[in-house]
Amino acid sequence: MADNNDEEPMADGGSGTGIVAPDDETPTWRERKERTEGLSRLTYEYFERARREDQDLRQESDYVERDVLAFPAWPHEMIRNLSLTSFFVGMILFLSATLPPHIGPPANPSSTPAIILPDWYLYWSFGLLKLGPLNPELSILGGETAAEGAKLMADRTYGVVANLVVVGFVAIVPFLNKGSARRPVEQPFWAAVGVFGVVFAFTISMLSIKNLLPIGSNLLLDVTFLLPFVAGTISYALLRSMQEGYMYDLNRRYYRLRPPK
């Protein structure tokens, strides 16, 4: 004490009560209370212990600072994962116990209801099964009409192959464009491809319920394939014309924050 007084005089004489004004790190009274019991107490102790062990490790003489800083898989990550898993398994058990599913009688394959549709999110696939008119007829194969086998593959096969084409395209897109753009105006073409896909998903769904829509079947087929192209073209033109002004504004704000050297 005496030494300190000589070198650096302090306002309170260097022998205060030890009470310091609260800063950001100081827990509030509410937080202190929350940590005194139950799960919050347990969690607090757990993390405090982990922090302490970490601190001890760092203070060991052979400690080397490494780049990788994270919780170890065991036990930290494992405990977290197990608790999440238990929660969701518990929810499934709880819901299945409280809401027993209605199980109807088995389907009767010897009669078909008048309106028969899959769930709505499968309409697009159902619609692809109705693309018979697009299945090219080859006169070289002989036969006067479609029913006489003038097609390279049956309409039934064609509809199934169409599913592969759509799924294949969706699978290829991430390899063609890695999606680094954060807003549609940055890459108008790929944004237009996206709009095409969304509109096509909608129109092909409409085609799948063509027997319920008050639109002629041929007109509906035309609209199914034209509307996505129209929507894609419009969105491309729109985004392309917006692009320059939008990017100018964006760049100006960027360089205002980080002026070029």
Partner 1 sequence: MPLDEDKYPVESDRRRFVKGVVGGAALAGVTTASAAAVNTATAPTGAGGGTTTFYAVENTDGPAPRGMPQIPVEIDSEGYLKGAWPEYEDGADAAVTEDYKGSGVDYSSAWFQYCGVQTYSGVYPEADQDNYFRYSDSGYDWHSDKGGDKIHIDDFQELGDPWREWNTSFGTRANGKPASGTWRSQDLEPAETMPIQLIRSQNVLDLAKEDEWIDASTAEGCVAWLNKCTHFCCVPGFKSIAGSANFGAADKIYCQCHQSVYDPFSIVQKSFVALPRPEKEG
Shortest separation between residue 146's beta carbon and partner 1, angstroms: 8
- Residues in the interface with partner 1 (CB under 8 A) total 25
Q: Tell whether residue 114 is a contact of partner 1 (CB under 8 A).
A: yes
Structure tokens at 202: 């909608």
**Torsion 7-12-18-20 (CA) sign:** negative
Task: Provide the residue count of the chain.
Answer: 261
Element (H or E) spanning 205, and its range?
helix 188-208
Stretch that binds partner 1, among 30-38, 94-102, 113-121, 192-200 (CB under 8 A): 113-121
Q: Which of 163, 152, 153, 156 is nearest to 128 (CA)?
A: 163
**Torsion 109-113-118-123 (CA) sign:** positive
Binding residue (CB under 8 A) for partner 1 from 89, 141, 154, 234: 154
Q: Tell whether residue 159 is a contact of partner 1 (CB under 8 A).
A: yes
Distances (CA, A) of 164 to 169, 170, 237: 8, 10, 30
Binding residue (CB under 8 A) for partner 1 from 1, 103, 140, 147: 147
Q: Which residue, 162 or 185, has its beta carbon nearer to partner 1?
A: 162
Stretch that binds partner 1, among 69-77, 110-118, 162-170, 222-230 (CB under 8 A): 110-118
Q: Which of 78, 58, 74, 56 is nearest to 66 (CA)?
A: 58
Stretch that binds partner 1, among 18-26, 101-109, 164-172, 237-245 (CB under 8 A): 101-109
Report d(CA 211, CA 132) in Å as an integer: 15
- Residues between 126 and 145 with contacts to partner 1, criterion CB under 8 A: 129-130, 132
Q: Which residue, 131 or 199, has its beta carbon nearer to partner 1?
A: 131
Residues 76 and 50: beta-carbon distance below 8 Å: yes
At residue 244's C-alpha, the angle toward residues 239 and 245, to 5°, is: 95
Binding residue (CB under 8 A) for partner 1 from 28, 83, 108, 180: 108
Shortest separation between residue 148's beta carbon and partner 1, angstroms: 9
Binding residue (CB under 8 A) for partner 1 from 22, 100, 101, 106: 106
**Please, which residues have CB within 8 angstroms of residue 221's CB and are 6 or more apart in sequence?**
133, 134, 207, 210
In this structure, what are the phi and psi dihedrals at residue 6, rounded to the nearest 5 degrees?
A: -65, -45
Q: Which residue, 210 or 240, has its beta carbon nearer to partner 1?
A: 210
Q: Which string of x and - marks every residue 180-219 that binds partner 1 (by CB under 8 A)?
A: ------------------------------xxx---xx--
Q: Which residues make up the interface to partner 1 (CB under 8 A)?
A: 106, 108-116, 129-130, 132, 146-147, 154-156, 158-159, 210-212, 216-217
